[in-house]
Amino acid sequence: MDKKRQLMAEVFNELGIDCTISADNDLNLQEFIADSFSFINFICTVEEKYGIEIPDELLTYDTIQSLNGFLELIDAKEVKPA
């Protein structure tokens, strides 16, 4: 498993979300982020764990649909180191 997926597994673990992240699976993140509190908690934990700041305009529930898509967002040039 690559470092990004390992960090995401740590985020889920910290948040008490029980799921399996492997090198080849894609998850529907909306199944695990059920409400606005969970969404904000997830984003804050990701930003802290990855040492990044995700611009507000990218922080929509629709943006966080799949694990693969979210990891691509983290790699995007719009996301800056914190």
pTM for the predicted model, two decimal places: 0.83
pLDDT in tens, 43-73: 999 999 989 999 888 888 777 889 999 998 8
Name residue 62's amino acid.
D
pLDDT of residue 4: 86
SS3 call for 62:
coil
pLDDT of residue 78: 66
pLDDT of residue 23: 83
* 20-38 per-residue burial string, b: 16 or more CB within 10 A, e: under 16: ebeeeeebebeebbeeeee
